[in-house]
Amino acid sequence: MHYVYLLESLACDGERYIGATSDLGRRLDAHNAGRSPHTAKFRPWKLVAYLAFPERERAFAFERYLKSGSGQAFAGKRLWHSSAT
């Protein structure tokens, strides 16, 4: 399986990250250990949501979508936790 995942920083309010991987546990450990240059300064991270896809291509296509403007709007309404709701 291939996963698209959403992370929220526990140290920095409002910092979020979207990624894709085939080993979710290992990838979350890498983010929290500082082995990802894009997320190291905002660690620790918590896993907010993930979606599983049988095909790698579909997972990476959905990750690209979530990083687009309309995908960010979708994720903001449907996937991220919100203290306002």
List pLDDT tens digits, range 21-78: 999 999 999 999 999 999 999 999 999 999 999 999 999 999 999 999 999 999 888 8
pLDDT, position 84: 39
Amino acid at 35: R
Q: Looking at residue 70, which CATH number applies to its domain?
A: 3.40.1440.10
* Residue 30 lies in domain: 2-78
Q: How many CB atoms lie within 10 A of CB 80?
A: 14
Question: Would 25 be classed as within a structural domain?
Answer: yes
Question: Would 15 be classed as within a structural domain?
Answer: yes
Number of domains in the chain: 1
Q: Which residue do the tokens 């979508």 mark?
A: 65
Determine which helix (DSSP H) or strand (DSSP E) holds 60, and give its type and residue range. Answer: helix 56-67
Question: Would 12 be classed as within a structural domain?
Answer: yes
Question: Would 85 be classed as within a structural domain?
Answer: no
Question: Would 58 be classed as within a structural domain?
Answer: yes
